[in-house]
């Protein structure tokens, strides 16, 4: 275990007393959670021990299967166990996992959670005010959601902390177990078992970046031991009584110009939702479509031209919401055209987008006009969807769990107000 205590006074600044990579649990304890896959839910565990942790379903011992064994850069083993429906208890490594509820009413959304270490972009991973994902995770856990959606970008520690930088000294980096542990699993350790998850792939999880760790640990489809990273994750649908969650991998779909091949792939995936989903649909994809990271010189920037080509006239009319991250803001965009409301929850921990919060009404984004909504920058946090008699309420919380804004959602409509 490495300890890199940051409690020190430097140049008048009191640095955090949190160590760079303090495990939230004992070294031998596995990280355990449950997540939706294409054909049901799986319990998963990551352990640094040789064997998978003990598993128990309804009091009966059962062996977990190795999903990804230890290897060069990953001194850890990912284990998996399919969970049958109608079970009443699941324990992994002695930890009780919260089982799926029949109809989730309270759904947490979080995204873009890791600590940025890339070239000249250096975040103070040791300072919980400057990289607050551990607090964000604790605040989500305190609200006891039925389901947790991570909209992608878990892994941000790509290059070394510069020598002498106390803000990040001791930080791990690279697509390896230490960096994945420090960026996601350890700060989320206490949140992981408290509700089933839906994991969405971000562009930080493409194969050239954190893709190996993604495919080993979090991807819903099977791990390919030969390649070590699936170039794209197949789409899958989680059918729930109130809606279908359609998970789309947009990790490789570029924003500024149309990539015809990627547009064709996603177009087919959107078209397939006509038959693979039932009822209202929430599309879960890391990259938003007609959305912006902010406004420069009066013009919105950052919309996705490739996804716009794939989506226009293709997304089924039953798609009410697109849940994304990627832009490090909290954003709700309700359009003048009959399009799904875009929700962006990208403020979970990484550097926030610059610029001011603004009323997005009247923005024209790649030819699409925003009728109403929210665009908030400058605060870390997460969001919660709560089912009501009238539809859903979407609340934006800061990192401490204080409600900031709320939108009442019904079908594709969204009416938002500051709390």
Q: Looking up tokens 């920037």, which residue turns up?
A: 301
Of 206-265, binders to Fe ion (CB under 5 A) are: none
Q: Largest Cα–Cα distance of the chain, in whole Å?
A: 63
Residue 304 C-beta: closest distance to Fe ion, Å: 11
Binding string, 274-313, against Fe ion, x = CB under 5 A?
Answer: ----------------------------------------
Nearer to Fe ion, 202 or 302 (CB): 202
CB 355 → Fe ion: shortest distance, Å? 17
What would the two tokens of residue 114 be?
């890791």
111 is an interface residue for Fe ion by CB under 5 A? no
Positions 198 through 217 that interact with Fe ion (CB under 5 A):
202-203
Q: Pick between residue 141 and residue 199 the one whose CB is nearest to Fe ion.
A: 199
SS3 (DSSP) at 311: helix
In the bound state with Fe ion, the residue whose beta carbon lies nearer, of 203 and 405, is 203
- Smallest distance from Fe ion to CB 323, Å: 14
Between 15 and 308, CB nearer to Fe ion: 308
144: alpha, beta or left, given left = phi > 0 and alpha = psi -120 to 50?
left
Q: Is 127 in the site for Fe ion (CB under 5 A)?
A: no
The least CB distance from residue 362 to Fe ion, in Å, is 26
Contact in structure between 379 and 397 (CB atoms under 8 Å): no
Least distance in Å: CB of 326 to Fe ion?
4
Least separation in angstroms between residue 206's CB and Fe ion is 10
| Contact window for Fe ion (CB under 5 A) among 12-20, 151-159, 186-194, 394-402 | 151-159
Distance in Å, CB of 359 to Fe ion, minimum: 25
Residues 343, 181, 205, 232, CA torsion sign: negative
Residue whose Cβ sits closest to Fe ion: 326
Those residues whose C-beta lies under 8 Å from the C-beta of residue 113, and which sit 6 or more positions away, are 133, 136, 150, 153, 154, 183, 184, 187, 188, 348, 349, 350
326 binds Fe ion (CB under 5 A): yes
φ and ψ at residue 169, rounded to 5 degrees: -55, 140
Compute how many residues bind Fe ion; rule: CB under 5 A. 4
Distance CA 159, CA 306 (A): 29
Selected from 42, 127, 146, 153, the binder of Fe ion by CB under 5 A is: 153
Closest CA to 311 of 273, 344, 278, 349: 273
Parallel, antiparallel, or unpaired for β 381-388 and 368-376? unpaired
User: CA-to-CA distance for 226 and 230, rounded, in angstroms?
Assistant: 10
CB nearer Fe ion, residue 92 or residue 322: 322
Return residues touching Fe ion (CB under 5 A): 153, 202-203, 326
């Amino acid at each position: 275990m490495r300890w890199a205590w940051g409690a020190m006074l430097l140049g008048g600044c009191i640095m955090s007393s949190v160590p760079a990579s303090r495990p939230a649990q004992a070294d031998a304890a596995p990280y355990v959670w449950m997540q939706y896959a294409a054909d049901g839910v799986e319990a998963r565990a990551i352990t640094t021990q040789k064997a998978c942790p003990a598993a128990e379903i309804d009091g009966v011992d059962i062996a977990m299967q190795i999903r990804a064994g230890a290897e060069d850069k990953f001194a850890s083993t990912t284990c998996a166990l399919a969970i049958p429906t109608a079970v009443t208890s699941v324990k992994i490594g002695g930890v009780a996992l919260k089982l799926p509820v029949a109809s989730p009413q309270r759904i947490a959304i979080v995204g873009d959670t890791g600590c940025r270490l890339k070239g000249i972009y250096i975040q103070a991973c040791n300072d919980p005010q400057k990289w607050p994902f551990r607090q964000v995770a604790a605040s989500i856990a305190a609200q006891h959601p039925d389901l947790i959606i991570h909209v992608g970008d878990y892994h941000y520690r790509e290059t070394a902390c510069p020598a002498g930088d106390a803000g990040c000294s001791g930080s791990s980096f690279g697509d390896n177990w230490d960096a994945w542990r420090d960026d996601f699993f350890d700060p989320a350790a206490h949140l992981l078992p408290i509700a089933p998850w839906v994991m969405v792939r971000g562009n930080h999880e493409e194969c050239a970046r954190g893709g190996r760790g993604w495919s080993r640990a979090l991807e819903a489809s099977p791990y390919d031991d030969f390649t070590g990273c699936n170039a794209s994750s197949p789409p899958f649908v989680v059918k729930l009584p109130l809606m279908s969650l359609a998970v789309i991998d947009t990790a490789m779909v570029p924003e500024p110009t149309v990539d015809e091949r990627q547009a064709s792939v996603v177009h087919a995936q959107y078209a397939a939702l006509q038959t693979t989903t039932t009822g209202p649909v929430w599309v879960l994809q890391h990259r938003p479509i007609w959305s912006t990271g902010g406004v420069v010189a009066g013009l919105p920037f950052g919309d996705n031209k490739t996804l716009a080509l794939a989506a226009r006239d293709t997304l089924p009319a039953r798609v009410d919401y697109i849940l994304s991250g990627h832009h490090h803001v909290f954003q709700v965009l309700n359009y003048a055209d009959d399009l799904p409301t875009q929700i962006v929850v990208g403020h979970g921990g990484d550097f926030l987008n610059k610029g001011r919060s603004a009323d997005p009404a009247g923005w024209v984004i790649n030819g699409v006009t925003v009728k109403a909504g929210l665009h908030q920058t400058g605060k870390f946090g997460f969001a919660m969807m709560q089912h009501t008699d009238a539809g859903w309420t979407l609340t934006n919380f800061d990192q401490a769990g204080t409600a900031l804004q709320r939108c009442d959602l019904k079908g594709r409509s969204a009416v938002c107000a500051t709390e």
